[in-house]
Amino acid sequence: MNDLLVFQKRPVDFFPSVEGSGLFLEYLDKILYLKRSPEKLHGGTWGIPGGKFEKGEDAETACIREVNEEVGILVEAGSLKKVASLFMRTSQGDWIFHVFAALFSQKPKINLKLDEHVEAKWLTIDEARNIPLILGGIEVLEVYKKLRVKGIC
């Protein structure tokens, strides 16, 4: 059962144990999605490149590091557009997920880190809705779509 609640404003009683960042890496109206290794938490589900902060990192630095580690793409600091910070809550705890976007004019070469992900695909928003997304993935995608339509990202 999915007991996930997602807020765009920080709830008063919100005490996150983890922060992470993710990147909507877009090329020709398609977004890069990665399929998690079966051995990982939420194995077999799909999500955008990203992950947890390391000690001393801010949201953008964590996002840049994770994208480079997971798919071998070096994104320059200052080139990311902040989409939102989402406040996620489940019965297991609270966490913050910072969402960024980057538009590429040329298709970047992907060097998939196979111990974390087993497949990469470029998908439209509608295609992404029809695959098994990681916990919170559909909610993050809907926020991205809404802001994209408004021209915010």
pLDDT tens-digit readout, 69-80: 999 999 998 899
Spatial CB neighbours of 10, under 8 Å, sequence gap ≥ 6: 87
- Which residue's entry shows tokens 């589900």? 45
Q: Which residue, chain included where needed, has tokens 């969402």?
A: 99
What is the value of pTM for the model shown?
0.92
For residue range 138-148, what is the model confidence (pLDDT) as tens digits?
A: 999 999 999 87
| SS3 annotation, 29-74 | CEEEEEEECCCCCCCCCEECCEEECCCCCCHHHHHHHHHHHHHCCC
User: What does the longest C-alpha to C-alpha distance in the chain come to?
Assistant: 44
Domain ranges of the chain: 5-149
For 137, left (φ over 0), alpha (ψ -120 to 50), or beta? alpha
CATH 3.90.79.10 fits 5-149, yes or no: yes
- pLDDT score recorded for residue 1: 44
- Mean pLDDT over the full length of the chain: 93
pLDDT value of residue 4: 92
